[in-house]
Structure 1
């Protein structure tokens, strides 16, 4: 039997392409400062030799897995789904694969995920724990020995932070509604004690305070999670004798429940009731009328957190933790109008 030929190695690729080993390595790792001509020569040699990178051996040699771990609470949330898509594009351009873990707000799962990221030699991680005040999760994040960026969580740990400035844009939305004559403005939000929810409540209350009005607790609907069913609670809210004339609601599946509850009551947007979404699922832009929204500048969030993490990967953890704040934006669309002179009776 004819002996099986050895598999081609990186030296064979360099020889075939007529370049250095370093040049081949830069092309394989998708480093940006490589000329198109050199990249094409290396890729052509790889194809001719049918070269296959041994990732396990590369990891042992370089102590780099070329992977980024990403932990979100619930990827059915449009915010996290869009963030992951942009992260994947940005890190791929820098030669990294992004592995997503979905914790579903379970603290035990979050501990398990953090342990897995550590044991699998991730080059860095981006995490948004759903249990930012859980002592065990806090301790695990503090101890993790990886370059890390914490996304939009108030965690007093020795890690880089990228925070979303939720309150000002929510306050701006509230002030607009109040200036349009609305006083009965309901808030439909998750009651979880996370930074995004607490800061949105802060902005909601600040909007009333800025106009010299009280924020009423009976108009705040607190859900068990950001994607929890909301139809029944909102339906009940809209059946009150003095029902809300405006709603500020989460832009997850909660928004769909809110719109369905409004429709079930025979109310019209914005003639009978105005709607603002915190977050923006795709259907919010195609809905008629289009839904006004408070959104995060996702490109800025990804740009800042990617830059922080790549810098930390290159430089290590010696430098002091950094903190970046990304703004949110209130976009006024057709779902907001003047408060009706009298709230019409619902069905």
Structure 2
């Protein structure tokens, strides 16, 4: 491995002169600077950024534990966080938790071993008992993203209850009474909150919850397709469907198509999560779209404040969704 001493010998200067050129800590005459820069290029020397960062007490890295990186929503969320942190001079290290606390703990432990300056976590079910205490014990700044928990740290996520209620009420306003819901992974706050919104809409119209209309989609395209197909193939199928995330929306649409049914003629449809390419669907999807850019940028800013040791009580920030009224709901 090339050292600073190798560069100094090739340039015919002292190691301290090379250091001054690299770090700008002292003025070096133009001719000497040029010799050093040529020697750096010829030797391929690179500074040990990790050693310098550790000496300064910072690594300028942030860890992100998140699930299902293949999910378009989470991919967009990672991109939004990375852009905000990059603008502040930080590098993002991402690990996939697979929405399971055991793999989540492996990811977060690995990130802590790398001495990240802070951590952003989209918590799996049970994370508050398993993963998060281990992070807080280290004193590492922590922000929760997408899913809110009853823990003492900064958190940012989408508005879930009101948005899911709004989607369901829209179908009720169109005259539907047998409205099925496709819900996500049990034990995750976003799953619970969106289901609560669905139930609140029904109760607001005096309609009791029918368990036969609750589809356990598990935030999986394949599971949602299988379960929705079984529901729609039954004699007393629902007249409308609400899907509570984009992976399950794809599965639901595949199930409808596999049965030769048509949206919205045979079954009306609305969904939580919008797609960047949703206009390619026919009919176009009525959806509650998340403001991914704001969620990601807000999480990054909250974390940077804690890294800078700014005081203040933990913040819980809910970002409103945007209602995109299209044609899958059956409106003209």
CA shift, 1:16, in A, is 11
Please tell me whether residue 314 in structure 1 is matched to residue 308 in structure 2: yes
Checking the alignment, whether the CA contact within 8 Å between 2:221 and 2:250 is kept in structure 1 is no
Please tell me whether residue 139 in structure 1 is matched to residue 133 in structure 2: yes
Please tell me whether residue 323 in structure 1 is matched to residue 325 in structure 2: no
- Separation of aligned partners in 2, 1:183 and 1:306: 42
The count of residues paired between Structure 1 and Structure 2 equals 312
Q: Secondary structure at the match of 1:275?
A: strand
Please tell me whether residue 65 in structure 1 is matched to residue 65 in structure 2: no
| Alignment-derived partner of residue 99 in structure 1 | 93
Mapping for residues 242-257 of structure 1, pairs under 5 Å: 242-257=236-251
CA shift, 1:92, in A, is 1.1
Distance 1:191 1:123, change over 3 A: closer
| Alignment-derived partner of residue 5 in structure 1 | 7
Over the aligned positions, Cα root-mean-square deviation in angstroms equals 2.8
Q: Secondary structure at the match of 1:90?
A: helix
More displaced 10-residue stretch of structure 1: 165-174 or 206-215 = 206-215
Distance 1:110 1:144, change over 3 A: farther
Deviation sequence 1:131-150 (CA, Å, 0-9, x none): 23562234324424211101
Unaligned segments of structure 1, at least 5 residues = 20-44, 340-347
Please tell me whether residue 218 in structure 1 is matched to residue 212 in structure 2: yes
Deviation sequence 1:17-44 (CA, Å, 0-9, x none): 969xxxxxxxxxxxxxxxxxxxxxxxxx
Unaligned segments of structure 2, at least 5 residues = 9-14, 29-35
Q: Secondary structure at the match of 2:306?
A: helix
**TM-score relative to the length of structure 2:** 0.84
Q: Secondary structure at the match of 2:124?
A: coil
Checking the alignment, whether the CA contact within 8 Å between 1:142 and 1:158 is kept in structure 2 is no
- Separation of aligned partners in 1, 2:316 and 2:128: 21
- Separation of aligned partners in 1, 2:38 and 2:276: 40
- Separation of aligned partners in 2, 1:46 and 1:89: 31
Mapping for residues 121-160 of structure 1, pairs under 5 Å: 121-132=115-126, 135-160=129-154
| Alignment-derived partner of residue 29 in structure 1 | none
Please tell me whether residue 296 in structure 1 is matched to residue 299 in structure 2: no
Please tell me whether residue 262 in structure 1 is matched to residue 264 in structure 2: no
User: Which residue of 185, 200, 204 corresponds with 2:179?
Assistant: 185
- Separation of aligned partners in 1, 2:76 and 2:202: 31
More displaced 10-residue stretch of structure 1: 166-175 or 138-147 = 138-147
Distance 1:271 1:225, change over 3 A: closer
Distance 1:228 1:137, change over 3 A: farther
